[in-house]
Structure 1
Amino acid sequence: MAPANVDFSSLLTPALFHQVLKNRLPWPKEKPIDFKELTKEPDGTQKKEFREIAWPVLKALSTLGVDSVPDMMQFLPSPESEDFPEQALGLQLLLDQGSRALFEGIDIRYTYDYFQHVARKFAQQLLDLPSQLRIDSKKRWMDEQGASFDYWLMVRLWLIAPVVHSEALADHELAQQMNEEVRVEVEKFSSKTDPYRAQRAELAVDIYAFGKMYRIGPPMENGPQMHEWFFWMWTVLDVHKPIIDKFGKYPYQDVAKGRVSTEEEREWSIVFENGVDKSDSDVAKKIREDVLKGRWTPLGGKDET
C-alpha cells in the first residue's frame, strides 16, 4: 500500500465536516426530530451526495496504511472553540459511517479492518477530553449550541457507535455504561421506563439478539415516539456485547478481515446474515488471499501487486 502524496489539510476541512454532518443528520438541530422520517431509508439523492462528499477523502486516507493515518485532531479547531463540537462530529461520522454507507464487495475490508480502527482511535481522543469539552456533553449541545434533546441524543449515539463496533470487550463494557447514562436521561425526559429493562438478563446472554432486534426495528404503533426509538436503539447497542462475550470477536466480520471461522462461528454468521453463507464467496476468497499475501486491493480499484 503506497502512501498518498496528498495535502490532507485541503481535504479534511470545516466545509467537509459541515457537509457530512448535514447529510447524516439532516434535521434542524434546535427542533425535535420526526422519528417517522428517521426510520425511512435515505433517498437516492442523499446517498449520491454522501458519496460525492466522502469518497475522495476516504480513498485518499485508504492509501496510507492504517498505522500511518494522521492524527485527526490536527484538522479540527481547538476543543474550546464553539465550532469544535459540530466539526468533530462531522469528522467522526465520516470515519465511522462513511465506509459503512459506501463500501461493498471487496472494499468491505476497508470498513472493518481499516476505518473501523481509525474511527475508534479518534473516538477515544474525543472521549479523553475534559468532561466540559467532550462533544457528547449535554450542556455543550443544548445550552451552548441550542440543540434539542433529541439532537443531543443523536450526537451521543454517533460517539458511542465506534466503541460498539470494536471487538474489544473493554469497549463494550464502556459502551454499556454510556448507554445506561443515556437511557436514564430518556426515562427522565419522557417519564417512561425503558420496557427492555425487564428483559435485560435474557438479552445479556442472547447471541442472536442483535440481528433479531435490528431486523424487527423499533415499535411502530405510535410512530415511533422519540423515547420508543431510543430505548430500542440503546438496547440494540447493548446486545452487541453477548457476541463478544461468546466469540471474542464479531464472526460476521471474518470475511471482511480474511479470518477463518470455526464451524460454530460460521453457523452463527449464517443466522446473522439471514440465511446467507458468505464464508465461501468470491469476496471472501479474494480478501483471504490478500491477507495471506500481505497486500490490500486498492479501494474501488484493481489488485495492487
Structure 2
Amino acid sequence: MPDHGSTPRPEAGAENVPELVIISGMSGAGRSTAAKCLEDLGWFVVDNLPPALIPTMVDLGARSQGNVARIGAVVDVRGRQFFDDLLTSLDELEKRGVRLSVVFLDSSDDALVRRFESVRRPHPLQADGRIVDGIAQERDLLRELRGEADLVIDTSNLNVHQLRAKLDAQFADHDEPELRATVMSFGFKYGLPVDADLVVDCRFLPNPHWVPELRARTGTDSDVADYVFRQPGANEFLNGYAELLRIVTEGYRREGKRYMTLAVGCTGGKHRSVAMSERLTKRLVADGVETVLVHRDMGRE
C-alpha cells in the first residue's frame, strides 16, 4: 500500500492536477451518503469507478483547466484482482505527486446486518450464505485498505445527518488546515470507537457518578469539571498528555497526515471523559489544530 504521508508535491506546471479522495469501506456503512455529501460540497464524484480508470479520471480533471479541481471516487473491493488494481492505481498516483486521501467507512457487524435486513437486500458477497458471511468476507478483503486509510469513520451510531456533518467538517471548501482533529468522549461500557487513532483512559480518576449531587450532571457542567480536576493526578495527566499531543501532532504534520481522532473514555462517557475531552480540545485549539469535539455517549444512559 502506498505511503500517503510521504506524497511528493506536484511539480511546477502541475497546478491543475485535481485533489483526489477515494471513498471505500463496508457495504451498508454509508458510501452513497458520503458520495452525495461530496457532490453537495462541489466535488466531482464518480461512483463505482473501476480502480484501473482512476488515473485516467485524474488526467481528465487536470485537462479541465481547473474546472475539476476535486474528484471523489467511490470504490468497493469485491475481489482480489479489483483490490490489486486499486493498489496499483494509488501507487501510480502517489508517484505522480497527486494529492490523495483514502476515506474508509466502517460499521459494526450488528449495525450492518440491521441495515441490510431493513431494506430486505442481500449483502453483495453473501451468495447462498448468510448476511454475516458476506460481511466477514468483505471485512477480510478490506482489512489492508482500512489499515492504510487516512480517515476512518465508524457509522455504527451515526445517522445520515451526523455522517454528512463529519464529512463536511473534513472536506468543505475552506482554507485547508495542516491538521484536523476530532476529540471524542466515550464510555467504555458502550465499546471503543473503532475510528480512534489515540485512546485516553480516564478511569483512574474518582467517578462523579458516586457523588449524589453530581450524578445527574455531566462533564460539561462546571461543578463536575471542578470535581474531576481537583482529584490527584488529573491536572498532571492533562498537562502531560497535552505535551504528548504536541509531539504527536508535529509528527503527523511532518508525515502529511491530515486527520486525527482522539478518543477519551471513562466508564459511561458522561463525567470524567467529557470534562477531560473539553480541556484537551482547548489545548489542541491553542496549539493551532482545528478541532471538533464530540460527546458520543453523553445522555445515553
Q: Same fold (TM over 0.5)?
A: no
Q: Which has the higher helix share?
A: 1
Decide which structure has the larger Cα Rg and report it: 2
Q: Which has the higher strand share?
A: 2
TM-score, scaled relative to structure 1 = 0.26
TM-score, scaled relative to structure 2 = 0.26
